[in-house]
Structure 1
Amino acid sequence: MFELFNSMMKEEWRMHSSFFGNRGFALFPVVIVAISMLLSLSMMIFGRIISQADVLLGLHYLLLFMGSMVGGFGLLGREVMNRRFSQASLLAYSSRTLPISERFIFSNFIVKDVIYYFFLYVLPFTAGFVAGAFIIDIHYSFLILLMTLFLSFCTGLSLVFLLSTVYANLGKKALFLIFVVSIVLLVLFQGTGPEKLYVLPPLAMYIAPSVDLLIICLGLVLVPSIISIIFLKVDYPQFQKHYRNRFKGIAARLGFYGYSHFVAKEYLDLSRSEGGVGKIVFSFLVPVALIWLFLPQLLKLVPGLDILVVFAVVVGMMASSMYNWLVEFDMFSSYAFLPLTVPDILRSKLNSYSLLNVIPLAIIIITTVYTGRLFDIVHIVLLFVAVSMYMVSVTVYLTGLNTSISLYNAGTFAGYVLAIGPVVLGMIFLAQLNFHFVIASVILIPVALFVLKRSFVKWGKWEV
């Protein structure tokens, strides 16, 4: 059965390389190497306030968060196995005609994705970081660090995979369970010191390698994943689904809004697609909850940083992922029959994105009130709005309507990092000097509007 896995690996390569060539896709890991090398070289500046133990802590939790952001496979099961996936029809879509089980096919799909993440992200990130550290005479064990970072990534992925599978089987009832679990975790971590974070098994294994810790790490990855695959939910509809016409009603209620018909379509697409609101929960809310859970302890290791400022910046960055949802599963070929241009579609997506931003905005407001900093709410909200607008403007300018695919192009991703990194770090640095300097983030709003204007000109030359 290795033939299926091999074919899926080739399919993934061809799907990406067809957009920007073999070289553009192959050079993507090189960009990751360069970024992580610069990160480790920055230790020449920050090494006096951050210990090597703290650096290892940050690396492992960074990979844990990355894994959690891509672990919603439980919701993708029916999307991948039972229908066209975006503009492409993957091998997994042939599950009804292949003489093998859906679980076996989807297991191959997941393993294929994990391997690609390993070679595209984890391996080059580790290699670049270790190489940069070696230049400044800091030595890490490359193979052990590679293994523990990969285990950390897979731990976050497998746990969210399990949660998303529970949601796929129980539906909205699972949201209550996840909410209860979140409250319990917040209570357990309330008041704990940063030393508790070092019990993360992959990190503990790097510090003190042992067979017992390796077994625990593998168990955290394999057990949730196996349970998720066993309870994988793949429905093959035996009848057509019928929905009453809600489009006219929704569009009418939004009649005051210039893009009411587009927004109504986006809402119906999201609510009727597999997972529905689960996409928001597992692609955004769960990672945000994890960040809020661990961020206070992580920032105790870096004195002077304002936790609320960092949280607002991170949530603003993550909010831009909602633009990806709006363009990833839309069939743009259907727009070709309408008197629309690419800028028209981009504006419609941006309007829907603005409405979806009510969710992270509410999180920012609740968090500000919860931390007892109501007097700082104007600064924090302004910072979030500015970062979110700037992030999505850069995303639109660089990727247009093909966000998920285009960012795997080495040049595009390098431009994305160079446009985002200095701005984000600059906002955090200004707040460290003086909290009221955060108000300078207002500059990002006209910059974002200018970038969007240039985006419409750039993508106006393309056809849907």
Structure 2
Amino acid sequence: MLELFRSMMKEEWRMHSSFFGDRGFAFFPLVIAAVSMLLSLSMVLFGRIISQAEVLLGLHYLFLFMGCMVGGFGLLGREVMNRRFGQLSLLAYCSRTLPVSERVIFSNFVVKDVIYYFFLYVLPFTSGFAAGALLTGWQYSFFLLLITLFLSFCIGLSLVFLLSTIYAHLGKKALLVLLLIAVALLFMFRDLRSADFYALPSLAFYLEPSVNLLVTCLALIMVPSMISIIFIKVDYPQSQKHYSNSFSKIAGKLGFYGYSHFMAKDYLDFSRSEGGPGKIVFSFLVPVALLWLFLPQLLKVVSGLDILVVFAVVVGMMASTMYNWLVEFDMFGSYSFLPLTVPDVLKSKLNSYSLLNVIPLGVVLLTVLRAGRLQDMFHIVLLFVAVSMYVVSITVYLTGLNTSFTLYSAGTFTTYLLAIGPVVLGMIFLGQLNFQFVLAAVLLVPVSVYVLKRAFVKWSGLEV
């Protein structure tokens, strides 16, 4: 058991360091610490409009959502490894050859991931934030904050792990279950007050530490995780799957796009790969649904911010993760036999990305309708489209066809944050000054086009 865990930890390090070197990966937590320290130092400016309790509220829900997104990405992990690294055989996927049960392997894998993200994100973020707080005069209990942020992260992680287990057993029926859960949450939270958010067990434990709250936090982590481990489902198909030839039909319907054949391939890869629609549900729609439920209440503690502006900006940033799906689920070695360049492949992925953006755009439109602000529809849609274009253009320029792994490089991630952070915060700030200033987002469109052109030039010298 311990030897398996050690091997998985070594495997994780070697896999990431092989992409951008030991130093690039080792310095990544330092970047997280530096960013969180700057965030803490910004309280010098915003300390008059936001209290220390409200900062704690935002931090704990930030890590709760982060845990949800990491848990959702866990659904994609096996597919990514099978498609992008088919020549490799990770320990987590060797239960047929190792004299160890699937539950033991999965348990070690989950513990390894939790420790991995603790040292990669939680510890650096808490250290940087606490260090910045000392300089601003705000006082935080470092060890208590470290524990409670970690608990928030694990609660979100275990929740989505449980949902993914339900999906593995019920398949498409699970989508109905998730819809019922969403309706139940909307019903439960219809009269929710902003003060109720402080009842989050991990946050409540920080504010008033007690054994009962600690037990509650551990139960919210352990119970869903144990259920997921007990009912783990690993399929080993004994027969080949057969599909009707629909490539030409799909490509014909997408003929108005310049890369319709590539888009048809992306669609078939996506729909026939493991998880299918579950990828959208768990890695995008679940975090967006949680954001939709909680954001109105969370913003009540920060007066002046326009909820639709914040929602459009955040969803626009989250939409860029769909570009990650498109490049992670493709084996680019097969393109080397075709008369294509890297810019050709990038353009095809961007065409697919633009089509997939119908999903987050629909979410934004529903939000505007639900808020009863039809008169602001143009402003919000423009803001979403502009932010989505800008973030994906920066992503393409910095990472090309290796998005997820390249972003773990300290230098690349720092550049990514510096290029995106001030812009999205600026959009939110302009919306706070005057809603009409949101129209300035149109300036991001030509900037995005320019960045994409530079990205095509940058990556044109590489082989697919």
Name the residue aligned to 1:366. 366
Name the residue aligned to 1:251. 251
| 1:326 maps onto 2:326 in alignment | yes
Name the residue aligned to 2:138. 138
Deviation string 1:92-117 (CA, Å, 9 cap, x unpaired) is 23221111112211222222111111
Deviation string 1:241-287 (CA, Å, 9 cap, x unpaired) is 11121112211222332211111111111111111111011111000
Quote the Cα distance in structure 2 between the aligned partners of 1:146 and 1:257.
Answer: 49
Contact 1:341–1:460 at 8 Å: present in 2 too?
yes
2:346 counterpart letter in structure 1:
L
Name the residue aligned to 1:437. 437
1:292-303 matches, cutoff 5 A: 292-303=292-303
Quote the Cα distance in structure 2 between the aligned partners of 1:12 and 1:377.
Answer: 45
Quote the Cα distance in structure 2 between the aligned partners of 1:2 and 1:331.
Answer: 34
Quote the Cα distance in structure 2 between the aligned partners of 1:180 and 1:238.
Answer: 34
Contact 1:86–1:328 at 8 Å: present in 2 too?
no
Quote the Cα distance in structure 2 between the aligned partners of 1:267 and 1:182.
Answer: 27
Quote the Cα distance in structure 1 between the aligned partners of 2:73 and 2:34.
Answer: 30
Name the residue aligned to 1:11. 11
Contact 2:84–2:330 at 8 Å: present in 1 too?
no
Name the residue aligned to 1:237. 237
2:75 counterpart letter in structure 1:
L
DSSP 3-state at the match of 2:301: coil
After TM superposition, give the deviation of residue 78 of structure 1 in Å: 5.7
| 1:402 maps onto 2:399 in alignment | no
Contact 1:162–1:225 at 8 Å: present in 2 too?
yes
Identical columns (%): 74
Name the residue aligned to 1:272. 272
Range with bigger deviation, 414-423 or 241-250: 241-250
2:410 counterpart letter in structure 1:
A
1:252 counterpart letter in structure 2:
G
Name the residue aligned to 2:114. 114
Name the residue aligned to 1:92. 92
Runs of 4+ in 1 over 6 A off after TM superposition: none
Quote the Cα distance in structure 1 between the aligned partners of 2:260 and 2:319.
Answer: 22
Contact 1:327–1:402 at 8 Å: present in 2 too?
yes
Name the residue aligned to 2:193. 193
1:218 counterpart letter in structure 2:
L
Name the residue aligned to 1:453. 453
After TM superposition, give the deviation of residue 329 of structure 1 in Å: 2.2
Deviation string 1:136-183 (CA, Å, 9 cap, x unpaired) is 121111111100000000101111111111111101111111111111
Quote the Cα distance in structure 2 between the aligned partners of 1:156 and 1:92.
Answer: 22
Name the residue aligned to 2:34. 34
DSSP 3-state at the match of 1:340: coil
Quote the Cα distance in structure 1 between the aligned partners of 2:90 and 2:246.
Answer: 31
Name the residue aligned to 2:393. 393
Deviation string 1:322-350 (CA, Å, 9 cap, x unpaired) is 00111112111111111111111111111
Structure 1 unpaired stretches of 5+: none
1:285 counterpart letter in structure 2:
L
Quote the Cα distance in structure 1 between the aligned partners of 2:298 and 2:169.
Answer: 34
After TM superposition, give the deviation of residue 76 of structure 1 in Å: 4.3
2:93 counterpart letter in structure 1:
Y
Name the residue aligned to 2:311. 311
After TM superposition, give the deviation of residue 72 of structure 1 in Å: 2.6
| 1:223 maps onto 2:223 in alignment | yes
Quote the Cα distance in structure 2 between the aligned partners of 1:32 and 1:264.
Answer: 38
Deviation string 1:361-404 (CA, Å, 9 cap, x unpaired) is 01111110110000000000000000000000000000111101
Quote the Cα distance in structure 1 between the aligned partners of 2:131 and 2:218.
Answer: 27
DSSP 3-state at the match of 1:222: helix
Q: TM-score, normalised by structure 1?
A: 0.97
Contact 2:326–2:349 at 8 Å: present in 1 too?
yes
Supply the RMSD in Å over aligned alpha carbons: 1.4
Q: TM-score, normalised by structure 2?
A: 0.97
TM-aligned CA distance change 1:44 to 1:325, over 3 Å:
same
Quote the Cα distance in structure 1 between the aligned partners of 2:286 and 2:262.
Answer: 28
Name the residue aligned to 1:160. 160
Contact 2:320–2:391 at 8 Å: present in 1 too?
yes
Number of residues of Structure 1 aligned to a counterpart in Structure 2: 463
After TM superposition, give the deviation of residue 184 of structure 1 in Å: 1.3
TM-aligned CA distance change 1:331 to 1:404, over 3 Å:
same
Range with bigger deviation, 93-102 or 206-215: 93-102
TM-aligned CA distance change 1:377 to 1:155, over 3 Å:
same
2:108 counterpart letter in structure 1:
N
TM-aligned CA distance change 1:10 to 1:229, over 3 Å:
same
Contact 1:74–1:165 at 8 Å: present in 2 too?
no
Range with bigger deviation, 430-439 or 84-93: 84-93
2:407 counterpart letter in structure 1:
L
1:292 counterpart letter in structure 2:
W
Structure 2 unpaired stretches of 5+: none
Contact 1:75–1:168 at 8 Å: present in 2 too?
no
TM-aligned CA distance change 1:330 to 1:382, over 3 Å:
same
Name the residue aligned to 2:50. 50
Contact 2:316–2:384 at 8 Å: present in 1 too?
yes
2:122 counterpart letter in structure 1:
V
Quote the Cα distance in structure 1 between the aligned partners of 2:93 and 2:173.
Answer: 28
Range with bigger deviation, 233-242 or 119-128: 233-242
Deviation string 1:417-444 (CA, Å, 9 cap, x unpaired) is 0000000010001011100100000000
Quote the Cα distance in structure 2 between the aligned partners of 1:233 and 1:392.
Answer: 35
Contact 1:40–1:129 at 8 Å: present in 2 too?
yes
Deviation string 1:44-89 (CA, Å, 9 cap, x unpaired) is 11111111111110100000010011113773476489x4564543
Quote the Cα distance in structure 2 between the aligned partners of 1:186 and 1:328.
Answer: 34
1:129 counterpart letter in structure 2:
F
